[in-house]
């Protein structure tokens, strides 16, 4: 039992710190995400509090946090709404790729990076953080806004696109054969297609499986199914977050309301740990030399994400305020960007790692702040514009 004591003490400090950050964020009227990210960066050095014993648990809890965020987001919508929105926003996804991936690729060329590193930087600037965006929309009360389906469609399109992009990137970085990349792409697309079809056709059976008078049973069944579906999706080469999101879509609306109520506190706990853990591996001292380049890249791609959101929300009939909110919501980059940077660094391109870490931190902190203040505060009260 003595070996457990450091783990419990460190976890206690982390949870209490997250609690205080949430209280502070509520008092000043912003999302707690930026404060949690910064605290992770500060505590990750170990100079203030040593959390080495808690890090393995925090890493696992962070993964669960992302899944719960996307599951809860999926519970807000139906399979029919998602299918209609994805069909309407295929052009928005193309605009998103051209503007944001193009900006990253051009930045890599200007920084003198080799072409594989430029391709990695394109992916880093392309993909918004589903986890941060999901929490931000909930914090700001914008899940019912007219522009939100457009934002979700962009996120889903990006995650599906990653099933194609990542195998190609790995092949380019490692010099693998083209047929190996093609096989990985086909497998990932097959996994996503299967889950999309299943989410639409298995809704009634899923509802029967999850229904039970006991909240405990609903919680355990839904959490267990989520972990299994997410794990299988990841094994097949797609994003585990996509699996969790599509599972939420498949839950019948009659049960979704109850599921949101039951899962809410669990989502809040694990999501908070995810945002805190996000900053842990970032070393602040290594960010200073690349800060000017990362800051300029963040400014440029904030503009391109605003343009993406403006275009996508406009296709759903949103007016100027809704279009601005949609663009600002897409600004944060996160988990996928870090994964891409890690792949590039492991393939012998360390210059990508420092720029990516600084860039992700800037957008992950600046995005929620921009989303909060880009339009007057009254716009967060679920408007129809």
Report the sign of the C-alpha dihedral through residues 357, 362, 368, 374, in that order. negative
Q: How many CB atoms lie within 10 A of CB 317?
A: 12
For the chain, domain boundaries: 78-261+283-378
Threshold 0.85, pTM exceeds: no
Looking at residue 18, what is its pLDDT? 85
pLDDT band at 55 (very low <50, low <70, confident <90, very high): confident
**Site of tokens 């930087």:** 121
Tell me the HSE value of 375 on the side-chain side, using a 13 A CA sphere.
22
Nearby residues of 263 by Cβ (< 8 Å), 6 or more positions away: 68, 71, 72, 219, 222, 223
Please report, rounded to a whole number, the percentage of residues in the chain having pLDDT higher than 90. Answer: 32
Asked if residue 379 has pLDDT above 90, the reply is no
Helix (H) / strand (E) containing 383 = none
- Length of the chain as a residue count: 385
Looking at the structure, give the CATH architecture of the domain made up of residues 78-261+283-378. Answer: Up-down Bundle (1.20)
Distance (Å) of CA 275 to CA 57, 196, 267: 14, 28, 12
Looking at residue 304, what is its pLDDT? 97
Report the sign of the C-alpha dihedral through residues 328, 330, 335, 340, in that order. negative
CB 101 within 8 A of CB 297: no
Average pLDDT for 34-57: 80
Q: For the chain, what is the mean pLDDT?
A: 85
**3-class secondary-structure state, position 334:** coil
Distance (Å, rounded) from C-alpha 267 to C-alpha 260? 9
Average pLDDT for 91-113: 95
């Amino acid at each position: 039992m003595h070996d457990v004591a450091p783990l419990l003490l460190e976890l206690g400090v982390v949870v209490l710190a997250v609690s205080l950050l949430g209280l502070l964020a509520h008092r000043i009227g912003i999302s707690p995400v930026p404060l949690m990210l910064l605290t992770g960066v500060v505590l990750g050095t170990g100079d203030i509090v040593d959390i080495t014993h808690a890090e393995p648990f925090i890493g696992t809890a962070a993964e669960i946090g992302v899944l719960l965020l996307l599951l809860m987001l999926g519970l807000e919508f139906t399979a029919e709404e998602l299918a209609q929105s994805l069909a309407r926003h295929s052009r928005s996804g193309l605009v998103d790729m051209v503007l944001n991936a193009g900006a990253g690729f051009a930045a890599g060329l200007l920084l003198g990076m080799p072409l594989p590193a430029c391709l990695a930087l394109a992916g880093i600037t392309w993909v918004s953080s589903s986890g941060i965006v999901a929490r931000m929309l909930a914090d700001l009360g914008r899940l019912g806004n007219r522009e939100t389906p457009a934002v979700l469609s962009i996120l889903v399109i990006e995650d599906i696109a990653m099933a194609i992009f990542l195998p190609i990137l790995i092949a380019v970085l490692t010099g693998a054969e083209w047929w190996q990349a093609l096989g990985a792409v086909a497998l990932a697309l097959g996994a996503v297609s299967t889950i999309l079809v299943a989410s639409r056709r298995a809704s009634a059976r899923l509802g029967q499986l999850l229904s039970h008078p006991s909240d405990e049973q609903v919680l355990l069944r839904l959490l267990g199914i989520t972990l299994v579906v997410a794990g299988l999706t990841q094994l097949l080469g797609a994003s585990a977050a996509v699996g969790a999101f599509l599972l939420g879509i498949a839950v019948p609306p009659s049960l979704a309301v109850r599921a949101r109520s039951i899962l809410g506190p669990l989502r809040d706990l694990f999501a908070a740990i995810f945002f805190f853990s996000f900053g842990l591996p970032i070393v602040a001292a290594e960010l200073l030399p690349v800060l000017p380049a990362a800051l300029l890249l963040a400014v440029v791609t904030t503009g391109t994400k605003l343009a993406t959101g403006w275009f996508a929300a406009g296709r759903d009939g949103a007016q100027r305020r809704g279009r601005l909110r949609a663009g600002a919501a897409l600004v944060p980059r996160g988990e996928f960007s870090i994964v891409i940077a890690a792949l590039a660094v492991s393939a012998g391109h360390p210059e990508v790692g420092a720029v990516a870490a600084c860039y992700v931190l800037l957008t992950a902190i600046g995005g929620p702040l921009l989303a909060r203040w880009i339009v007057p505060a009254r716009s967060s009260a679920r408007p129809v514009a």
